């Protein structure tokens, strides 16, 4: 028996698929497909959170740009460039020092895109009946499960 995928709710082997309270023998599966399910509040929240995170990450550079333009404009009017250049150099050093701290929010943003923005459903035809085995908003997990089911069905003799 070959294990293709396993997590707390789904197990795909060369002999059977166990998910969503169903246990389906691979030999009895005649067709596998996926569908897009209705959007849930979790998915909407993820998309909203992604937008807020992008806004929060893009606002400080925009504010800094406005401050730099204002500083250069006022230095030009006064003709005194030394304090303006010292301030700009200090801001540049501070920005470079804070850059490693962007790893955490950018990681959150990356993971939100990996998880997707819709609900995915995995369906099989089993003894002439259509059965939904998995319904999840996690695109990465769904892709792994779907590919495991495909491999199990493709490599089963008699299919």
Q: How confident is the model over 47-89, as pLDDT tens digits?
A: 777 777 777 777 777 777 787 777 777 777 777 777 777 887 8
Q: How confident is the model over 110-135, as pLDDT tens digits?
A: 777 767 778 889 999 988 889 899 98
Q: What is the Cα–Cα distance from 75 to 73, expressed in whole angstroms?
A: 5
- pLDDT grade, residue 158 (50/70/90)? low
Within 10 angstroms of residue 124's Cβ, the number of other Cβ atoms is 23
DSSP state of 7: -
If DSSP codes are grouped into helix, strand and coil, which group holds residue 32? strand
């Amino acid at each position: 028996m070959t294990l293709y995928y396993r997590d707390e709710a789904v197990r795909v082997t060369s002999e059977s698929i166990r998910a969503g309270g169903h246990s389906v023998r691979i030999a009895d599966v005649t067709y596998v497909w996926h569908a897009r399910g209705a959007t849930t509040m979790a998915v909407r929240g993820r998309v909203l959170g992604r937008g807020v995170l992008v806004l929060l990450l893009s606002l400080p550079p925009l504010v800094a740009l406005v401050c730099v333009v204002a500083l250069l404009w006022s230095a030009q009017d006064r003709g005194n460039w030394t304090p303006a250049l010292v301030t700009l150099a200090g801001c540049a050093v501070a920005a470079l020092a804070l850059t490693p701290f962007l790893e955490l929010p950018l990681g959150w943003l990356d993971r939100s895109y990996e998880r997707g923005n819709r609900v995915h459903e995995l369906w099989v035809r089993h003894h002439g009946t259509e059965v939904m085995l998995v319904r999840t908003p996690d695109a990465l997990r769904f892709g792994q499960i779907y590919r495991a089911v495909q491999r199990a069905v493709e490599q089963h003799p008699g299919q």
